[in-house]
Amino acid sequence: MVLYVTRYDSTWNTPGQVPFTEAGYSQADPAFGPDGTLYFISNRPKDATDTIVDFDIWFVSPQAEGWSPIQNLAAVNSDSNEYYISIAHNSNLYFASSRVGGLGQEDIYVSEYSEGNYGEPRNLGPAINSEKSEYDPGISPQEDALVFASSKRNDTFGGADLYGAIRDEHGDWKSAVHFGPAVNTDAREFCPYFTRDGDYFFFSSQRDVKWIGIEAVRAALR
């Protein structure tokens, strides 16, 4: 997998590889932070002594001419896989990981951003995660709604379905809800993404890429 970049200026230009592509390794799951920092995953080694083959979260920052040198987000990464990043307006970073200590095969975590640094990742707990696989988190800009993909739950229609959760009056996540046939099919639904204004979210499906209004999401989760 290789990341490509394009620019819209009344028309889209031809996509090209990002300059920090490293041949022989994957670069995938891009996500922009509110300051323009680009986060993505890669299975490239951290350094010459790194012998663990796994996906980590990396980042580059925009500069006047191109991008800063690539950096590993060490505060968030583990010796297992980290992937599919989603970032709220306050820079809190949500991601999936297969790290030791989770509730299932893959769980969703958050790393809170404070004073320029990311903190210890926190598992979102049983309201979101299960003994199965939860991944592809999409956090709303204000962190009041979370949509994610899950596989092999009892109510899953296909290979992967979308679930969502909103917060209660105390700010805790309510139990995740299956979106049902309005969104999910016997195909795979995955990779949800909220627009920056929080009015819509897009998702991928083996049908096609889809989008849905946020009010329909909130109604389904109430």
pLDDT range class, residue 220, cuts 50, 70, 90:
low
pLDDT range class, residue 7, cuts 50, 70, 90:
low
Question: Among 202, 199, 177, which Cα is nearest to 189's?
Answer: 202
Model pTM score: 0.89
Question: Among 48, 29, 46, which Cα is nearest to 38's?
Answer: 29
pLDDT tens, residue by residue, 95-115: 999 999 999 999 999 999 999
- What is the spatial distance between Cα 73 and Cα 68, in angstroms, rounded to a whole number? 14
**What mean pLDDT, rounded, does the chain reach?**
90
Residue 217: phi and psi, rounded to 5, are -65, -50
Residue 17 has a pLDDT of 85
pLDDT tens, residue by residue, 53-85: 999 999 999 998 889 999 999 999 999 999 999
The conformation of residue 197, written as its DSSP 8-state character, comes to T
Q: Can you name the residues that pair with 211 across neighbouring β-strands? A: 202
pLDDT tens, residue by residue, 183-210: 898 889 999 999 999 888 889 988 765 6
Q: Which domains does the chain have, with CATH numbers?
A: 4-221 (2.120.10.30)
